[in-house]
Amino acid sequence: MTRRVGLSARRIVGGLSAIALLAAVSGCGLLGGSEDKPANSAAAPGAVEKPKIKLGLLPILDVASVHVAIKKGYFKEEGLEVDAVPVQGGALAIPGLIQGDIDITFGNWVSFFAAEAKDAAKGVDGLKLISDGYQAKPEMFLILTAADSTIKAPKDLAGKTIAINTFRNIAELTAKATLEANDVDPKSVTFKEFAFGDMQAAVQNKTVDAAFMVEPYISKAQRSIGAISVLDAATGPTDGIPIAGYGTTGKFAKANPNTIAAFQRAMAKGQRDAADRPTVEPLLVDYANVDKETASLVHFGEYPTTLDATRLQRVATLMKTYGLLEKDLDVKPMLFTAPGS
């Protein structure tokens, strides 16, 4: 198996320990939940302003809670109909969000924070985060190689090409952090953009040396081509890191506060229920196009039921460390609170 934490990891974790100490003193856990009042307490009264919403989604395990909420009628109970719009990743979904092609999108926190730091959504009153989505656990963020690859350990990734779904996202961030934790210079690695569904073929035909995969693509590649894990990107400095959630524009949120509040309530129920594996597995067969056996093998992350600024700030801190942010970003103003909450 891979060696997970080297000297660099201790330096990274040490650098974060001061932040963790401050969080502990204030009563907040940097790596987990918070004792503060949830930031996404949805309590806006009244009928929804927009009954049918366009929601950007990827066919991955991370969004299982949306499909649970649809299946169980949680959105319908709130007067909402969800029109799922396929997206390749958060970075590519944000322009569509800004242009109004979609109303809300699932995306990784790195992409949301990077766009906000660049004022990319300034014309639509910035980006607002409205629901948490997914948090890392071991074995669900893996860098995989072909069974016959000469890459056997993290150190062998130096100088190699790794597929990621989009640039400057959570995959790139966690890959860089864990590469450095295993004494591999992230600058020696070349990242190449591929949709998750195309990564297995890219590894198999040697277009790339390795691929950063998520579920259910990890389990599919391991079963079908015997793909081998050489690095778990959700360990060491990225253990338990928040991955992704749901966001909209400030303009849409201000015009549709009841719609956002209704979405938040439905999602809170979906997030809660997604923690039950037997509930999710059958849905993966449908929306992620995997067979039942693969669905039974996937490694689950966590589905947080509250949106917590303390947890998310950890992502922004790592982004600054690895050059994905030029300056510090306070994420708390990005969290949308419904009127009356």
> The domain at 52-135+240-334 falls in which architecture?
3-Layer(aba) Sandwich (3.40)
Kindly state the tokens that stand for 318. Answer: 């790592």
Question: Which CATH code of 3.40.190.10, 3.30.2140.20, 3.40.50.2300, 3.90.1150.10 fits the domain covering 141-238?
Answer: 3.40.190.10
Task: Determine what percent of the chain is predicted with pLDDT higher than 90.
Answer: 82
pLDDT at 36 over 90: no
pLDDT at 33 over 50: no
Q: Are 236 and 175 in contact (CB under 8 A)?
A: no
Residue pointed to by tokens 């081509």: 225
Q: Which residues pair with 104 in a beta bridge?
A: 55
pLDDT at 228 over 90: yes
Q: Are 149 and 228 in contact (CB under 8 A)?
A: yes
H helices of the chain, in order, are: 7-25, 64-71, 74-77, 90-99, 109-117, 170-181, 196-204, 217-225, 250-255, 257-274, 277-287, 292-297, 309-321
pLDDT at 313 over 60: yes
CA distances from 149 to 54, 131, 160, 212, 225 (A): 42, 40, 12, 15, 12
Q: Which residues of 258-283 are buried (b: 16+ CB within 10 A; e: fewer)?
A: bbbbbbbbbbbbbbbbbbeeebbbeb
How high is the pLDDT of residue 17? 36
pLDDT digits (tens, 9 = 90+) for 87-108: 988 888 999 999 999 999 999 9
**21 Cα distance to chain centroid:** 25
pLDDT at 25 over 80: no
Lowest mean pLDDT among 23-27, 65-69, 285-289: 23-27
CA distances from 327 to 148, 208, 218, 324 (A): 42, 32, 34, 9
How high is the pLDDT of residue 340? 59
Pick 296 or 8 by higher pLDDT: 296
Domain spans of the chain, in order of start: 52-135+240-334, 141-238
How high is the pLDDT of residue 89? 85
Mean pLDDT score across all residues of the chain: 88
State residue 57 phi and psi, 5-degree precision: -140, 150
**223 Cα distance to chain centroid:** 24
pLDDT at 7 over 60: no
Residue pointed to by tokens 């949830």: 38
pLDDT at 229 over 80: yes
**Distance (Å, whole) CA 92 – CA 176:** 21
**Distance (Å, whole) CA 336 – CA 44:** 12
- DSSP SS3 for 24: helix
